[in-house]
């Protein structure tokens, strides 16, 4: 069974006194999430983790790592926000995904209640 995430003070202590152990903890907890993820989500999560690891390698300081990961999260949230507010335009035409949207009318909703 994977370790639990330590409290904040413990994480700060590891960051200051034993960064190698903090990194081992990060890898261990991340691996546990990957192993417990549904198979259909695992490949995407592994790809995302690869991108994160590459960005962490490129950043020279802990502050740079934090800024880069924060930026990646903000970009992801912006994409999600765009998709939620512009659903037809959010689906890329070359994905091969198609769907028929069936509008719900007021008369149809009334027939369900009876």
Q: Tell me if 1 is assigned to some domain.
A: no
CA 15 to chain centre: 23
Residue 64's pLDDT is what?
Answer: 93
Owning domain of residue 101 = 8-113
Token pair of 85 as six digits: 């507010």
3 in any annotated domain: no
Please enumerate in sequence order all residues whose Cβ is within 8 A of that of 25, keeping only pairs 6 or more positions apart, or say none.
3, 6, 14
CA distances to 10, 30, 37, 77, 112 from 4, rounded to whole Å, are 12, 12, 17, 27, 47
pLDDT of 98 reads 74
Q: What is the pTM of this model?
A: 0.62
User: In whole angstroms, how far apart are CA 32 and each of 23, 27, 45, 93?
Assistant: 14, 9, 12, 35
pLDDT at position 62, please?
84
pLDDT of residue 96: 65
In a domain, residue 55? The reply is yes
Q: Is 82 domain-assigned?
A: yes
Any domain includes 2: no
At what angle are helices 19-36 and 8-17 packed, to 10 degrees? 130
Residue 70 lies in a domain: yes
pLDDT < 50 regions, the chain: none
Specify the residue for token string 């069974």: 1
Q: Looking at residue 16, what is its pLDDT? A: 93
Contact by Cβ (8 Å): 3, 30: no
Tell me how many domains the chain contains.
1
Contact 15, 37 (CB under 8 A): no
């Amino acid at each position: 069974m994977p370790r639990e995430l330590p409290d904040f003070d413990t994480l700060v202590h590891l960051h200051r006194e034993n960064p190698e152990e903090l990194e081992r903890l990060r890898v261990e907890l991340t691996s546990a999430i990957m192993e417990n993820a549904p198979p259909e989500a695992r490949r995407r999560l592994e790809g995302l983790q690869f991108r994160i690891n590459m960005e962490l390698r490129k950043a020279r300081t802990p502050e740079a790592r934090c800024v880069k990961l924060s930026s990646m999260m903000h970009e992801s949230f912006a994409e999600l926000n765009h998709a939620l507010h512009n659903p037809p335009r959010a689906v890329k035409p070359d994905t091969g995904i198609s769907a028929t949207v069936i509008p719900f009318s007021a008369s149809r909703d009334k027939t369900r209640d009876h």
